[in-house]
Structure 1
Amino acid sequence: MQAMLPGKENKHESLCEELLRERAAVLSRAGFAVEDALEVLIKINRQIEQKVEHLRMVQNPGSGQGNMNNKQSIFEEINMIIDQFNAACQKAEIQYYYLIVTREALGLRRHETVRQLYQIPSKKKKMQAI
């Protein structure tokens, strides 16, 4: 077996370091994409909670805001936001899938920690007006 020349060895080490940096960059981009998608889900979920709280206030008999049309429009708003949440859920699931595929392509086979870190909530059902 032939020994590597000092110049070639440095080039080889440099190339290996560059490959490692690129692997790390690819993984971090995939992870950040999942994090961004999860942040969107959190924001949309807050909107849903605010609208549901508003609906509870309107439905309270002592509130004096018992207009049936108002209640119906709030239900419709909540359901529109739920549609946005479900679409964002699907996007988050796709980003998570891309992260797992990227990890697999780079030789990483165990994903338990990733699954715990990036928990995608399940989709929500629309509200039914009573």
Structure 2
Amino acid sequence: MADKSDRSLPRERQDIVSDGGEDELSLDRLFSALATARQRAVLSLLVDEERASRDEVASQLAAVEYDVPREEVTDDQREYLVTALHHIVLPKLCEADLVEYVSESGTISRGFSFERAKPYLELAHQHEDGSGT
């Protein structure tokens, strides 16, 4: 197992530990990535689809956040979400290796640690829906 204080690792990767040669996502980083409803929503969209466009995700999030049908989302609402995704949400999820984001094409896809996050994501949704124990 890698020493978490190993200064040879980049600072943002020091909380990733190695176990049997495979990187694992630390619980702190995982829970930080799942901390906001917007971040969980992006991950939820990738449960059924391996990849999505940033603009499509922004439209879907805007419909939910503004409580309007998707076809009634305004350009301003969509652009607000595109900006939030690009500058806040996606970098946080990328940092945790939950998604890969290609800003030039606007493509979002599942990251290396995505599968590890799924049970925690499902648990969060159960509690949000009021069906948690």
TM-score scaled by structure 2? 0.33
TM-score scaled by structure 1? 0.33
Q: Which has the higher contact order (CA 8 A, sep 6+)?
A: 1
Bigger CA radius of gyration: 1
